[in-house]
Amino acid sequence: MILGAGSLGTALGNILAGNEDMKVILLTIEPEVADSINDQHINRKYFPGIRLNKNLKATLGEYVIRDADIVFLAIPSVAVVDYVLRNRQYLNPSTILVNLAKGFGNHNQVIAEHLMEELPNRVCSMKGPAFARDMIGGSPTGFTLATDDTELWSIFGEMCSGTSICLDYTHDVRGVEILSILKNIYAIILGIVDAHYNSANLRFLLLTRAFNEMRQVLLFFGGEQETLFRFCGYGDFSLTALNDLSRNRTLGLLIGKGFFTEDISSKVVLEGRLAVNIFYEKLMHEGAGEDKFPLMTQLYRVLNGNYPVQEMLRSLLSKELSDSSPQY
């Protein structure tokens, strides 16, 4: 079962529904979406021009959670924990929960760890460079499956066998969750720079420095360095930072071009913008100086004051900043 019939939930569900031995149901709160999927095999709201697998079904009733062996969580990150805990009476303790959402949950905790604390269920994290538009078209797509239970690796591997989904695996649940948030922050920075400079050399200079700073933040919060080289790390970061379909890169382009105003920012919820404040404040609270994480510090100043973008760019391009990366 997939909680959420948006673009990602529909794309993943459509892929898995290709296995006729698997019953795949999308749980949605949108009646028009459920009707179009069940009656016309089309998600008219999210993929109006795509014919879906006839085996893919949708429902509005939470009761379907009772019979689910696996529940994929494909709703906005800020809603995941509240929704699951509010409907925990439907959850069988043997049901496997898989977090697809990329962002912080309640109390600025990573979602998978919060669910592990609250529920007896096995909880996984599954993240990667996955644009739903490409997935629905059958493009091969990589995900990292993170779980402490290695028995689940073979279960998910078999489930995805013969589909367009490619998996790699890790025990590092925290690292996968953290990287799925961090990549949005550094994608904003790449967008800001690209809005001002059409330079391949500069783009990849900043990309390298951003990837290194991601490594430092990951290690600071207890993630494993090896996780950076899974689909959830380098792959997802590169997709988000360099592709104009990325919402957070687009946010960076808007900021860099001077179109980002308080009116826009109050209406658009973007994971990266929210995450900057959370990570920065956590780092400062833990005693990390601003000089240890200069890229995030510069972006925090732009998003939370009258710090000019031009000043940020001068700082990002300075020789002193490029030589200041600490080692852990």
Q: Which residues are catalytic?
A: 183
User: Rounded to the nearest 10 degrees, how much is the dihedral formed by the CA atoms of 144, 186, 270, 5?
Assistant: -20
Residue 119 structure tokens:
């529920």
Strand order in the sheet with 123-127: 56-59, 24-27, 2-3, 70-73, 96-99, 123-127, 141-146, 165-170
Return d(Cα 174, Cα 179) in angstroms, integer.
9
Among 247, 118, 136, which residue's Cα sits nearest to residue 188? 247
Return d(Cα 175, Cα 182) in angstroms, integer.
10
Alpha helices by DSSP H, 161-285: 173-196, 200-220, 236-242, 247-257, 262-267, 271-285
Please state, in angstroms and as integers, the Cα–Cα distance from residue 22 to each residue in 14, 25, 144, following that order: 11, 10, 21
Residue in the structure block whose two tokens are 């797509």:
141
Do residues 280 and 272 make contact, with C-beta atoms less than 8 angstroms apart?
Answer: no
